[in-house]
Chains A and B, each alone.
Chain A
Amino acid sequence: MWIVRRLLLGLGLSLILSLLLFGLLGAMPGRSEEAVLDAEDPERVDRLRGRDLDSWTRYRCWWLGRQAEGCQPWPGEGLLRGDLGFSWVYRRPLTEILPGRLAASVGLCGPAIAAAAGVALLLGAFAARTGRTGTWIAWGLRVGSALPQHWLGLLVLWLGAVKLGAFPVAPGPEVGWLSRVGPPAGVLVVFLASRWARFVRDEAIRVAAEEHVFAARARGVPRARLWLVHILPASAIPLVALVAQSVPTVFSGAVVLETVFSYPGMGRLIYESILSDDALTAVTVFVVYAFTTFAAGALADGLVQWIDPRVRWGQGP
Protein backbone atom coordinates (compact mmCIF):
# COMPACT_ATOMS: atom_id res chain seq x y z
CA MET A 1 0.00 0.00 0.00
CA TRP A 2 1.63 3.18 -1.15
CA ILE A 3 -0.17 5.44 1.33
CA VAL A 4 1.23 3.45 4.25
CA ARG A 5 4.68 3.73 2.67
CA ARG A 6 4.19 7.46 2.26
CA LEU A 7 3.13 7.92 5.87
CA LEU A 8 6.07 5.81 7.07
CA LEU A 9 8.38 8.01 5.01
CA GLY A 10 6.79 11.07 6.62
CA LEU A 11 7.24 9.53 10.07
CA GLY A 12 10.89 8.78 9.31
CA LEU A 13 11.46 12.32 8.08
CA SER A 14 9.79 13.79 11.18
CA LEU A 15 12.08 11.63 13.29
CA ILE A 16 15.18 12.86 11.45
CA LEU A 17 14.00 16.47 11.78
CA SER A 18 13.31 16.03 15.50
CA LEU A 19 16.80 14.56 16.05
CA LEU A 20 18.41 17.40 14.10
CA LEU A 21 16.45 20.09 15.95
CA PHE A 22 17.10 18.56 19.37
CA GLY A 23 20.78 18.64 18.52
CA LEU A 24 20.43 22.38 17.97
CA LEU A 25 18.12 22.97 20.93
CA GLY A 26 21.00 23.71 23.29
CA ALA A 27 21.96 26.64 21.07
CA MET A 28 18.49 28.16 21.10
CA PRO A 29 17.71 30.79 23.71
CA GLY A 30 15.83 29.42 26.72
CA ARG A 31 15.87 32.09 29.36
CA SER A 32 12.99 34.48 29.55
CA GLU A 33 11.27 36.80 31.96
CA GLU A 34 10.74 34.10 34.58
CA ALA A 35 14.47 33.49 34.82
CA VAL A 36 15.00 37.18 35.38
CA LEU A 37 12.16 37.51 37.88
CA ASP A 38 13.16 34.44 39.86
CA ALA A 39 16.37 36.00 41.12
CA GLU A 40 16.76 33.64 44.07
CA ASP A 41 17.06 30.58 41.91
CA PRO A 42 17.64 31.50 38.27
CA GLU A 43 18.55 27.91 37.46
CA ARG A 44 15.07 26.67 38.42
CA VAL A 45 13.52 27.70 35.13
CA ASP A 46 16.37 26.08 33.23
CA ARG A 47 15.74 22.86 35.12
CA LEU A 48 12.01 23.05 34.55
CA ARG A 49 12.52 23.46 30.84
CA GLY A 50 15.06 20.68 30.78
CA ARG A 51 17.76 23.06 29.70
CA ASP A 52 20.49 21.80 31.98
CA LEU A 53 20.39 18.41 30.26
CA ASP A 54 22.57 17.52 27.30
CA SER A 55 21.00 17.10 23.86
CA TRP A 56 20.78 13.34 23.89
CA THR A 57 19.26 13.10 27.39
CA ARG A 58 16.80 15.79 26.45
CA TYR A 59 15.75 13.84 23.37
CA ARG A 60 15.37 10.70 25.47
CA CYS A 61 13.27 12.61 28.02
CA TRP A 62 11.12 14.04 25.22
CA TRP A 63 10.18 10.48 24.35
CA LEU A 64 10.10 8.84 27.78
CA GLY A 65 8.98 11.69 30.03
CA ARG A 66 9.79 12.43 33.65
CA GLN A 67 9.56 8.81 34.72
CA ALA A 68 12.77 8.02 32.88
CA GLU A 69 16.13 8.10 34.60
CA GLY A 70 17.72 11.52 34.85
CA CYS A 71 14.62 13.37 33.63
CA GLN A 72 13.03 14.24 36.97
CA PRO A 73 12.01 17.90 36.46
CA TRP A 74 10.95 17.28 32.83
CA PRO A 75 7.68 19.08 32.02
CA GLY A 76 5.75 16.15 30.59
CA GLU A 77 4.95 12.46 30.58
CA GLY A 78 6.81 11.85 27.32
CA LEU A 79 5.75 11.33 23.75
CA LEU A 80 5.36 7.57 24.22
CA ARG A 81 2.62 8.24 26.79
CA GLY A 82 0.97 10.71 24.45
CA ASP A 83 2.19 13.82 26.25
CA LEU A 84 3.84 16.44 24.06
CA GLY A 85 5.03 18.78 26.79
CA PHE A 86 4.06 22.11 28.23
CA SER A 87 3.63 25.48 26.54
CA TRP A 88 5.09 28.29 28.66
CA VAL A 89 3.39 30.89 26.52
CA TYR A 90 -0.11 29.59 27.26
CA ARG A 91 0.79 27.86 30.53
CA ARG A 92 -1.11 24.76 29.54
CA PRO A 93 -0.11 21.27 28.38
CA LEU A 94 0.44 21.13 24.63
CA THR A 95 -1.95 18.21 24.26
CA GLU A 96 -4.75 20.59 25.32
CA ILE A 97 -3.80 23.33 22.86
CA LEU A 98 -2.57 21.44 19.81
CA PRO A 99 -5.76 19.77 18.50
CA GLY A 100 -7.57 23.12 18.27
CA ARG A 101 -4.57 24.79 16.67
CA LEU A 102 -4.15 21.98 14.17
CA ALA A 103 -7.83 22.13 13.25
CA ALA A 104 -7.53 25.91 12.83
CA SER A 105 -4.53 25.62 10.49
CA VAL A 106 -6.16 22.91 8.41
CA GLY A 107 -9.40 24.91 8.44
CA LEU A 108 -7.48 27.84 6.95
CA CYS A 109 -5.40 25.97 4.37
CA GLY A 110 -8.04 23.50 3.17
CA PRO A 111 -10.73 25.98 2.05
CA ALA A 112 -8.02 28.28 0.66
CA ILE A 113 -6.58 25.47 -1.49
CA ALA A 114 -10.01 24.46 -2.79
CA ALA A 115 -11.02 28.06 -3.58
CA ALA A 116 -7.64 28.83 -5.18
CA ALA A 117 -7.90 25.80 -7.48
CA GLY A 118 -11.35 26.91 -8.68
CA VAL A 119 -10.27 30.52 -9.22
CA ALA A 120 -7.10 29.36 -10.99
CA LEU A 121 -9.10 27.25 -13.41
CA LEU A 122 -11.36 30.17 -14.26
CA LEU A 123 -8.59 32.78 -14.56
CA GLY A 124 -6.34 30.40 -16.48
CA ALA A 125 -9.07 29.85 -19.06
CA PHE A 126 -9.46 33.59 -19.59
CA ALA A 127 -5.70 34.16 -19.62
CA ALA A 128 -5.43 31.65 -22.47
CA ARG A 129 -7.38 34.03 -24.72
CA THR A 130 -5.41 36.01 -27.20
CA GLY A 131 -5.70 39.75 -27.49
CA ARG A 132 -5.98 42.43 -24.87
CA THR A 133 -7.97 40.51 -22.22
CA GLY A 134 -5.41 37.71 -22.16
CA THR A 135 -2.48 40.12 -21.89
CA TRP A 136 -4.06 42.06 -19.04
CA ILE A 137 -4.89 38.90 -17.13
CA ALA A 138 -1.39 37.53 -17.72
CA TRP A 139 0.14 40.68 -16.20
CA GLY A 140 -2.35 40.57 -13.34
CA LEU A 141 -1.27 37.00 -12.62
CA ARG A 142 2.41 37.96 -12.75
CA VAL A 143 1.84 40.69 -10.18
CA GLY A 144 -0.49 38.52 -8.09
CA SER A 145 2.11 35.79 -7.72
CA ALA A 146 4.76 38.37 -6.79
CA LEU A 147 2.83 39.94 -3.90
CA PRO A 148 4.49 39.10 -0.57
CA GLN A 149 1.78 37.44 1.52
CA HIS A 150 2.60 39.45 4.64
CA TRP A 151 2.37 42.70 2.71
CA LEU A 152 -0.91 41.86 1.04
CA GLY A 153 -2.15 40.69 4.45
CA LEU A 154 -1.27 44.04 5.99
CA LEU A 155 -2.97 45.93 3.17
CA VAL A 156 -6.09 43.79 3.59
CA LEU A 157 -6.04 44.46 7.34
CA TRP A 158 -5.51 48.16 6.79
CA LEU A 159 -8.28 48.47 4.25
CA GLY A 160 -10.78 45.94 5.62
CA ALA A 161 -10.34 46.32 9.36
CA VAL A 162 -9.02 49.84 9.91
CA LYS A 163 -10.62 51.83 7.08
CA LEU A 164 -13.85 49.92 6.42
CA GLY A 165 -14.28 48.12 9.73
CA ALA A 166 -15.57 45.03 7.89
CA PHE A 167 -13.83 42.65 10.32
CA PRO A 168 -11.87 43.05 13.59
CA VAL A 169 -8.06 43.38 13.50
CA ALA A 170 -7.55 40.58 16.00
CA PRO A 171 -10.76 38.51 16.01
CA GLY A 172 -11.66 36.48 19.08
CA PRO A 173 -13.65 33.25 19.14
CA GLU A 174 -16.94 35.17 19.30
CA VAL A 175 -16.50 36.43 15.72
CA GLY A 176 -18.10 34.51 12.88
CA TRP A 177 -16.21 31.98 10.80
CA LEU A 178 -16.05 34.15 7.70
CA SER A 179 -14.49 37.15 9.46
CA ARG A 180 -11.88 34.93 11.06
CA VAL A 181 -10.93 32.66 8.15
CA GLY A 182 -11.94 34.89 5.25
CA PRO A 183 -9.20 37.56 5.26
CA PRO A 184 -6.13 35.26 5.66
CA ALA A 185 -7.65 32.67 3.32
CA GLY A 186 -8.33 35.41 0.77
CA VAL A 187 -4.68 36.43 0.72
CA LEU A 188 -3.64 32.79 0.36
CA VAL A 189 -6.09 32.40 -2.53
CA VAL A 190 -4.62 35.43 -4.37
CA PHE A 191 -1.10 34.04 -4.00
CA LEU A 192 -1.90 30.44 -4.96
CA ALA A 193 -4.48 31.12 -7.66
CA SER A 194 -2.24 33.51 -9.57
CA ARG A 195 0.58 30.93 -9.59
CA TRP A 196 -1.68 28.05 -10.55
CA ALA A 197 -3.62 30.04 -13.16
CA ARG A 198 -0.45 30.58 -15.19
CA PHE A 199 0.01 26.83 -15.24
CA VAL A 200 -3.65 26.29 -16.22
CA ARG A 201 -3.21 28.83 -19.02
CA ASP A 202 -0.28 26.90 -20.54
CA GLU A 203 -2.18 23.61 -20.15
CA ALA A 204 -5.36 25.04 -21.68
CA ILE A 205 -3.42 26.34 -24.68
CA ARG A 206 -1.84 22.91 -25.14
CA VAL A 207 -5.15 21.07 -24.78
CA ALA A 208 -6.95 23.53 -27.07
CA ALA A 209 -4.58 22.52 -29.88
CA GLU A 210 -5.39 18.82 -29.47
CA GLU A 211 -7.40 16.77 -31.94
CA HIS A 212 -10.43 16.11 -29.76
CA VAL A 213 -10.94 19.85 -29.37
CA PHE A 214 -10.46 20.34 -33.10
CA ALA A 215 -13.05 17.63 -33.76
CA ALA A 216 -15.48 19.21 -31.31
CA ARG A 217 -15.08 22.59 -32.99
CA ALA A 218 -15.69 20.96 -36.37
CA ARG A 219 -18.94 19.49 -35.03
CA GLY A 220 -20.02 23.00 -34.16
CA VAL A 221 -19.87 22.71 -30.36
CA PRO A 222 -20.51 26.19 -28.92
CA ARG A 223 -17.53 27.98 -27.38
CA ALA A 224 -18.70 27.90 -23.75
CA ARG A 225 -19.36 24.17 -23.93
CA LEU A 226 -16.04 23.64 -25.72
CA TRP A 227 -14.18 25.23 -22.81
CA LEU A 228 -16.29 23.82 -19.98
CA VAL A 229 -16.51 20.25 -21.27
CA HIS A 230 -13.56 19.66 -23.56
CA ILE A 231 -10.68 21.93 -22.52
CA LEU A 232 -10.91 22.80 -18.81
CA PRO A 233 -11.49 19.28 -17.40
CA ALA A 234 -8.47 18.07 -19.35
CA SER A 235 -6.37 20.93 -17.95
CA ALA A 236 -7.65 20.33 -14.43
CA ILE A 237 -5.94 16.95 -14.03
CA PRO A 238 -2.35 18.26 -14.16
CA LEU A 239 -3.51 21.13 -11.94
CA VAL A 240 -4.54 18.68 -9.22
CA ALA A 241 -1.04 17.19 -9.32
CA LEU A 242 0.46 20.67 -8.98
CA VAL A 243 -1.87 21.46 -6.08
CA ALA A 244 -0.77 18.27 -4.32
CA GLN A 245 2.85 19.30 -4.69
CA SER A 246 2.14 22.77 -3.31
CA VAL A 247 0.78 21.60 0.06
CA PRO A 248 4.07 22.29 1.92
CA THR A 249 4.23 25.78 0.35
CA VAL A 250 0.70 26.50 1.53
CA PHE A 251 1.44 25.37 5.09
CA SER A 252 4.65 27.39 5.02
CA GLY A 253 2.88 30.55 3.91
CA ALA A 254 0.16 30.06 6.51
CA VAL A 255 2.74 30.81 9.23
CA VAL A 256 3.08 34.41 8.04
CA LEU A 257 -0.64 34.91 7.53
CA GLU A 258 -1.54 33.46 10.92
CA THR A 259 0.87 35.93 12.48
CA VAL A 260 -0.39 38.95 10.51
CA PHE A 261 -4.06 38.17 11.13
CA SER A 262 -3.63 36.91 14.74
CA TYR A 263 -5.17 33.63 13.64
CA PRO A 264 -4.74 30.93 16.30
CA GLY A 265 -3.07 28.22 14.18
CA MET A 266 0.03 26.05 14.44
CA GLY A 267 2.30 28.53 12.66
CA ARG A 268 1.56 31.30 15.13
CA LEU A 269 2.11 28.92 18.03
CA ILE A 270 5.59 28.10 16.67
CA TYR A 271 6.34 31.79 16.15
CA GLU A 272 5.11 32.85 19.59
CA SER A 273 7.05 30.06 21.25
CA ILE A 274 10.25 31.14 19.50
CA LEU A 275 9.69 34.77 20.47
CA SER A 276 9.15 33.83 24.12
CA ASP A 277 12.28 31.67 24.09
CA ASP A 278 10.32 28.44 24.51
CA ALA A 279 12.41 26.52 22.01
CA LEU A 280 11.31 23.09 23.22
CA THR A 281 7.65 23.83 22.48
CA ALA A 282 8.57 25.39 19.13
CA VAL A 283 10.46 22.25 18.09
CA THR A 284 7.68 19.93 19.28
CA VAL A 285 4.99 21.90 17.48
CA PHE A 286 7.13 22.05 14.35
CA VAL A 287 7.56 18.27 14.29
CA VAL A 288 3.78 17.81 14.54
CA TYR A 289 3.28 20.48 11.88
CA ALA A 290 5.80 18.86 9.55
CA PHE A 291 4.12 15.48 9.94
CA THR A 292 0.71 17.04 9.24
CA THR A 293 2.15 18.55 6.08
CA PHE A 294 3.50 15.17 4.94
CA ALA A 295 0.18 13.51 5.67
CA ALA A 296 -1.75 16.22 3.81
CA GLY A 297 0.64 15.88 0.88
CA ALA A 298 0.17 12.11 0.86
CA LEU A 299 -3.61 12.49 0.90
CA ALA A 300 -3.45 14.99 -1.95
CA ASP A 301 -1.30 12.60 -3.98
CA GLY A 302 -3.81 9.87 -3.26
CA LEU A 303 -6.51 12.12 -4.66
CA VAL A 304 -4.44 12.69 -7.81
CA GLN A 305 -4.12 8.95 -8.25
CA TRP A 306 -7.82 8.42 -7.76
CA ILE A 307 -8.66 11.04 -10.38
CA ASP A 308 -6.01 9.94 -12.86
CA PRO A 309 -5.06 6.27 -12.41
CA ARG A 310 -2.16 6.66 -14.87
CA VAL A 311 -0.23 8.37 -12.09
CA ARG A 312 1.48 5.91 -9.79
CA TRP A 313 3.50 7.04 -6.85
CA GLY A 314 7.10 5.83 -6.86
CA GLN A 315 7.04 4.81 -10.51
CA GLY A 316 7.08 8.22 -12.12
CA PRO A 317 10.03 9.78 -13.87
Chain B
Amino acid sequence: MDPRARLSPPGAEYWLGTDEQGRDVFGRLLLGTVVSVSVAAAATAVSSVLGLTLGLVAGYRGGTFDAVFGRAAEAVQAIPKLPLLLLFASVEPSAFGLSPGSASDLARIVVLFGLLGWVTMARVVRARAAQLREEPWVEAARGLGLSEFRVAVRHVIPHLGGPVRVTASLDLADAILLETSLSFLGLGVRPPMPSLGNLLSRGITYMTAAPWLLWAPGLVTVAWVVFFGWWAERSRSAQNPVADPVAPR
Protein backbone atom coordinates (compact mmCIF):
# COMPACT_ATOMS: atom_id res chain seq x y z
CA MET B 1 0.00 0.00 0.00
CA ASP B 2 1.31 3.39 -0.95
CA PRO B 3 -0.83 6.49 -0.33
CA ARG B 4 1.27 8.48 -2.81
CA ALA B 5 0.57 6.02 -5.65
CA ARG B 6 -3.21 6.41 -5.74
CA LEU B 7 -5.00 5.19 -8.87
CA SER B 8 -1.75 4.32 -10.63
CA PRO B 9 -2.32 2.26 -13.78
CA PRO B 10 -1.23 -1.38 -14.15
CA GLY B 11 2.54 -1.74 -14.43
CA ALA B 12 5.61 -3.59 -13.23
CA GLU B 13 5.29 -2.54 -9.59
CA TYR B 14 1.53 -2.94 -9.22
CA TRP B 15 0.44 -5.60 -11.68
CA LEU B 16 -3.18 -4.48 -11.81
CA GLY B 17 -2.62 -0.91 -10.65
CA THR B 18 -3.78 0.64 -7.39
CA ASP B 19 -7.13 1.82 -6.07
CA GLU B 20 -8.22 5.19 -4.73
CA GLN B 21 -6.35 4.64 -1.45
CA GLY B 22 -3.19 3.38 -3.09
CA ARG B 23 -3.85 -0.27 -2.31
CA ASP B 24 -2.57 -2.93 -4.70
CA VAL B 25 -5.53 -4.11 -6.80
CA PHE B 26 -3.94 -7.50 -7.51
CA GLY B 27 -3.63 -8.30 -3.79
CA ARG B 28 -7.15 -7.07 -3.02
CA LEU B 29 -8.45 -9.10 -5.91
CA LEU B 30 -6.77 -12.31 -4.69
CA LEU B 31 -8.24 -11.79 -1.22
CA GLY B 32 -11.63 -10.88 -2.67
CA THR B 33 -11.64 -14.01 -4.80
CA VAL B 34 -10.92 -16.16 -1.75
CA VAL B 35 -13.74 -14.45 0.16
CA SER B 36 -16.30 -14.68 -2.67
CA VAL B 37 -15.52 -18.26 -3.66
CA SER B 38 -15.45 -19.54 -0.09
CA VAL B 39 -18.72 -17.79 0.77
CA ALA B 40 -20.31 -19.30 -2.35
CA ALA B 41 -18.85 -22.72 -1.54
CA ALA B 42 -20.12 -22.63 2.04
CA ALA B 43 -23.55 -21.47 0.85
CA THR B 44 -23.66 -24.26 -1.73
CA ALA B 45 -22.69 -26.78 0.95
CA VAL B 46 -25.61 -25.64 3.13
CA SER B 47 -28.11 -25.64 0.25
CA SER B 48 -26.84 -29.02 -1.03
CA VAL B 49 -27.15 -30.76 2.32
CA LEU B 50 -30.62 -29.28 2.78
CA GLY B 51 -31.66 -30.18 -0.77
CA LEU B 52 -30.20 -33.67 -0.52
CA THR B 53 -32.05 -34.42 2.72
CA LEU B 54 -35.40 -33.01 1.62
CA GLY B 55 -35.17 -34.51 -1.87
CA LEU B 56 -34.17 -37.92 -0.54
CA VAL B 57 -37.02 -38.10 1.95
CA ALA B 58 -39.54 -36.80 -0.62
CA GLY B 59 -38.42 -39.15 -3.37
CA TYR B 60 -37.79 -42.21 -1.24
CA ARG B 61 -40.76 -41.97 1.10
CA GLY B 62 -43.25 -40.28 -1.21
CA GLY B 63 -46.74 -39.74 0.22
CA THR B 64 -47.78 -36.66 2.20
CA PHE B 65 -44.23 -35.43 2.73
CA ASP B 66 -43.68 -35.51 -1.02
CA ALA B 67 -46.86 -33.51 -1.65
CA VAL B 68 -45.91 -30.87 0.94
CA PHE B 69 -42.38 -30.83 -0.45
CA GLY B 70 -43.67 -30.16 -3.95
CA ARG B 71 -45.65 -27.12 -2.85
CA ALA B 72 -42.83 -25.79 -0.67
CA ALA B 73 -40.30 -26.13 -3.49
CA GLU B 74 -42.67 -24.34 -5.84
CA ALA B 75 -43.18 -21.54 -3.32
CA VAL B 76 -39.48 -21.01 -2.59
CA GLN B 77 -38.67 -21.04 -6.28
CA ALA B 78 -41.34 -18.43 -7.00
CA ILE B 79 -39.81 -15.84 -4.64
CA PRO B 80 -37.68 -13.14 -6.31
CA LYS B 81 -34.52 -13.84 -4.34
CA LEU B 82 -32.41 -10.72 -4.67
CA PRO B 83 -34.92 -8.18 -3.24
CA LEU B 84 -35.65 -10.56 -0.35
CA LEU B 85 -31.92 -10.90 0.34
CA LEU B 86 -31.64 -7.10 0.26
CA LEU B 87 -34.35 -6.84 2.90
CA PHE B 88 -32.72 -9.48 5.09
CA ALA B 89 -29.38 -7.76 4.66
CA SER B 90 -30.75 -4.61 6.28
CA VAL B 91 -31.65 -6.52 9.46
CA GLU B 92 -29.32 -5.49 12.26
CA PRO B 93 -27.60 -8.51 13.77
CA SER B 94 -27.54 -6.84 17.19
CA ALA B 95 -31.30 -7.37 17.45
CA PHE B 96 -30.61 -11.10 17.69
CA GLY B 97 -27.71 -10.76 20.10
CA LEU B 98 -25.10 -11.13 17.36
CA SER B 99 -22.23 -8.72 17.01
CA PRO B 100 -22.23 -6.78 13.75
CA GLY B 101 -19.17 -7.10 11.52
CA SER B 102 -17.70 -9.09 8.68
CA ALA B 103 -18.22 -12.47 10.36
CA SER B 104 -21.95 -11.98 10.78
CA ASP B 105 -22.20 -10.60 7.22
CA LEU B 106 -20.61 -13.76 5.85
CA ALA B 107 -22.68 -16.05 8.07
CA ARG B 108 -25.88 -14.26 7.03
CA ILE B 109 -25.11 -14.70 3.34
CA VAL B 110 -24.26 -18.39 3.76
CA VAL B 111 -27.41 -19.17 5.75
CA LEU B 112 -29.79 -17.18 3.52
CA PHE B 113 -28.35 -18.53 0.26
CA GLY B 114 -28.64 -22.01 1.74
CA LEU B 115 -32.25 -21.53 2.81
CA LEU B 116 -33.32 -20.08 -0.55
CA GLY B 117 -31.16 -22.18 -2.84
CA TRP B 118 -32.01 -25.80 -2.09
CA VAL B 119 -34.82 -26.26 -4.63
CA THR B 120 -32.88 -27.39 -7.71
CA MET B 121 -30.78 -29.87 -5.75
CA ALA B 122 -33.84 -31.25 -3.95
CA ARG B 123 -35.73 -31.71 -7.22
CA VAL B 124 -32.82 -33.51 -8.88
CA VAL B 125 -32.32 -35.79 -5.88
CA ARG B 126 -36.04 -36.43 -5.51
CA ALA B 127 -36.40 -37.56 -9.13
CA ARG B 128 -33.40 -39.87 -8.87
CA ALA B 129 -34.38 -41.26 -5.45
CA ALA B 130 -37.88 -42.07 -6.70
CA GLN B 131 -36.29 -44.12 -9.51
CA LEU B 132 -33.80 -45.84 -7.22
CA ARG B 133 -36.55 -46.86 -4.82
CA GLU B 134 -37.79 -49.32 -7.44
CA GLU B 135 -34.35 -50.88 -8.09
CA PRO B 136 -33.95 -54.58 -7.21
CA TRP B 137 -30.99 -54.05 -4.86
CA VAL B 138 -32.97 -51.56 -2.81
CA GLU B 139 -35.82 -54.04 -2.59
CA ALA B 140 -33.32 -56.76 -1.63
CA ALA B 141 -31.82 -54.59 1.10
CA ARG B 142 -35.29 -53.90 2.42
CA GLY B 143 -36.14 -57.61 2.18
CA LEU B 144 -33.11 -58.39 4.33
CA GLY B 145 -34.78 -56.39 7.06
CA LEU B 146 -32.57 -53.29 7.02
CA SER B 147 -34.17 -50.18 8.45
CA GLU B 148 -35.48 -47.58 5.99
CA PHE B 149 -32.87 -45.11 7.22
CA ARG B 150 -30.05 -47.59 6.61
CA VAL B 151 -31.35 -48.47 3.15
CA ALA B 152 -31.56 -44.78 2.24
CA VAL B 153 -28.09 -43.94 3.56
CA ARG B 154 -26.17 -47.05 2.46
CA HIS B 155 -27.97 -48.09 -0.70
CA VAL B 156 -29.57 -44.99 -2.21
CA ILE B 157 -27.26 -42.05 -1.40
CA PRO B 158 -24.12 -43.62 -3.01
CA HIS B 159 -25.99 -43.73 -6.33
CA LEU B 160 -26.83 -40.02 -6.25
CA GLY B 161 -23.23 -38.82 -6.59
CA GLY B 162 -23.24 -37.87 -10.26
CA PRO B 163 -26.32 -35.63 -10.48
CA VAL B 164 -25.46 -34.12 -7.09
CA ARG B 165 -22.00 -33.12 -8.29
CA VAL B 166 -23.38 -31.53 -11.46
CA THR B 167 -26.11 -29.61 -9.62
CA ALA B 168 -23.70 -28.50 -6.89
CA SER B 169 -21.22 -26.99 -9.32
CA LEU B 170 -24.02 -25.18 -11.18
CA ASP B 171 -25.33 -23.91 -7.83
CA LEU B 172 -21.82 -22.78 -6.94
CA ALA B 173 -21.60 -20.73 -10.14
CA ASP B 174 -24.98 -19.13 -9.38
CA ALA B 175 -24.01 -18.45 -5.77
CA ILE B 176 -20.90 -16.56 -6.92
CA LEU B 177 -23.05 -14.43 -9.23
CA LEU B 178 -25.63 -13.76 -6.51
CA GLU B 179 -22.96 -12.84 -3.97
CA THR B 180 -21.36 -10.38 -6.39
CA SER B 181 -24.74 -8.73 -7.12
CA LEU B 182 -25.55 -8.45 -3.42
CA SER B 183 -22.11 -7.09 -2.48
CA PHE B 184 -22.23 -4.79 -5.49
CA LEU B 185 -25.39 -3.22 -4.08
CA GLY B 186 -23.51 -2.75 -0.82
CA LEU B 187 -25.57 -5.21 1.21
CA GLY B 188 -23.49 -8.37 0.94
CA VAL B 189 -19.87 -8.57 1.99
CA ARG B 190 -19.07 -5.08 3.23
CA PRO B 191 -15.77 -3.23 2.93
CA PRO B 192 -13.04 -3.18 4.24
CA MET B 193 -13.28 -6.93 3.62
CA PRO B 194 -12.90 -7.27 -0.17
CA SER B 195 -15.12 -9.46 -2.32
CA LEU B 196 -15.48 -9.67 -6.08
CA GLY B 197 -18.79 -7.78 -5.81
CA ASN B 198 -17.79 -4.89 -3.60
CA LEU B 199 -14.47 -4.37 -5.42
CA LEU B 200 -16.53 -3.87 -8.54
CA SER B 201 -18.84 -1.34 -6.93
CA ARG B 202 -15.81 0.73 -5.84
CA GLY B 203 -14.75 0.73 -9.46
CA ILE B 204 -17.79 2.71 -10.61
CA THR B 205 -16.64 5.97 -9.05
CA TYR B 206 -13.39 5.84 -11.02
CA MET B 207 -14.90 4.31 -14.14
CA THR B 208 -13.20 6.75 -16.53
CA ALA B 209 -10.08 7.66 -14.53
CA ALA B 210 -9.13 4.10 -13.55
CA PRO B 211 -10.97 1.55 -15.71
CA TRP B 212 -8.79 -1.33 -14.40
CA LEU B 213 -10.74 -1.11 -11.14
CA LEU B 214 -13.83 -2.13 -13.13
CA TRP B 215 -12.28 -4.64 -15.51
CA ALA B 216 -10.21 -6.75 -13.15
CA PRO B 217 -12.87 -7.97 -10.66
CA GLY B 218 -15.44 -8.48 -13.42
CA LEU B 219 -13.16 -10.66 -15.51
CA VAL B 220 -12.14 -12.73 -12.49
CA THR B 221 -15.81 -13.30 -11.63
CA VAL B 222 -16.61 -14.37 -15.18
CA ALA B 223 -13.63 -16.75 -15.18
CA TRP B 224 -14.81 -18.50 -12.00
CA VAL B 225 -18.42 -18.78 -13.13
CA VAL B 226 -17.40 -20.12 -16.55
CA PHE B 227 -15.08 -22.59 -14.82
CA PHE B 228 -17.76 -24.05 -12.56
CA GLY B 229 -20.28 -24.17 -15.40
CA TRP B 230 -17.77 -25.96 -17.62
CA TRP B 231 -16.95 -28.36 -14.78
CA ALA B 232 -20.64 -29.21 -14.45
CA GLU B 233 -20.94 -29.82 -18.19
CA ARG B 234 -17.88 -32.03 -18.18
CA SER B 235 -18.98 -34.20 -15.31
CA ARG B 236 -22.42 -34.51 -16.88
CA SER B 237 -21.10 -35.74 -20.22
CA ALA B 238 -18.58 -38.00 -18.45
CA GLN B 239 -21.46 -39.69 -16.61
CA ASN B 240 -23.71 -39.96 -19.61
CA PRO B 241 -21.94 -39.65 -22.96
CA VAL B 242 -25.07 -40.73 -24.85
CA ALA B 243 -27.02 -37.68 -23.67
CA ASP B 244 -24.78 -35.41 -25.72
CA PRO B 245 -24.97 -36.81 -29.21
CA VAL B 246 -23.44 -35.25 -32.28
CA ALA B 247 -25.92 -33.26 -34.29
CA PRO B 248 -26.63 -34.53 -37.79
CA ARG B 249 -25.37 -32.25 -40.57
Contact = CB atoms under 8 A, between A and B. Distances in A.
Contacts, number: 155
B77 A13 contact: no
Contacts of B180: 148, 150-151
B173 to A, nearest CB: 7
A270 B87 contact: yes
B245 A209 contact: yes
Given A143-B226, A293-B80, A26 B95 contact: yes
B3 to A, nearest CB: 27
A107 to B, nearest CB: 17
A294 to B, nearest CB: 5
Nearest to A274: B90
A217 B248 CA distance: 11
Interface stretch (B23-31, B141-149, B200-208): B200-208
Interface residues on A, range: 35 or more
Nearest to A285: B83
A158 B197 CA distance: 18
B1 interface: no
B247 interface: yes
A298 to B, nearest CB: 9
A271 B78 CA distance: 20
Contacts of A21: 87
Contacts of A130: 246-247, 249
A28 B187 CA distance: 13
A209 B222 contact: no
A10 interface: yes
A137 interface: no
A75 interface: no
Interface string B88-108: 111110011000000000000
A28 B222 contact: no
A279 to B, nearest CB: 6
Given A253-B82, A256-B181, A283-B87, 12 more contacts: A10-B78, A21-B87, A142-B226, A148-B177, A149-B181, A154-B203, A205-B244, A245-B77, A248-B81, A267-B82, A271-B83, A290-B79
Interface of A: 9-10, 13, 17, 21, 24, 26-29, 128-130, 134, 142-143, 145-151, 154-155, 158, 162, 202, 204-206, 208-209, 217, 223, 245, 248, 251-253, 255-256, 259, 267, 270-271, 274-275, 279, 282-283, 286, 289-290, 293-294, 297, 317
23 contacts: A10-B78, A13-B75, A17-B84, A24-B87, A28-B90, A28-B91, A130-B246, A148-B218, A149-B181, A151-B180, A151-B217, A151-B218, A154-B218, A158-B214, A248-B79, A251-B80, A252-B80, A256-B82, A256-B184, A259-B185, A274-B86, A283-B87, A317-B127
Closest 8 CB pairs of A and B: A27-B95, A146-B225, A151-B218, A252-B82, A252-B80, A251-B80, A146-B226, A27-B91
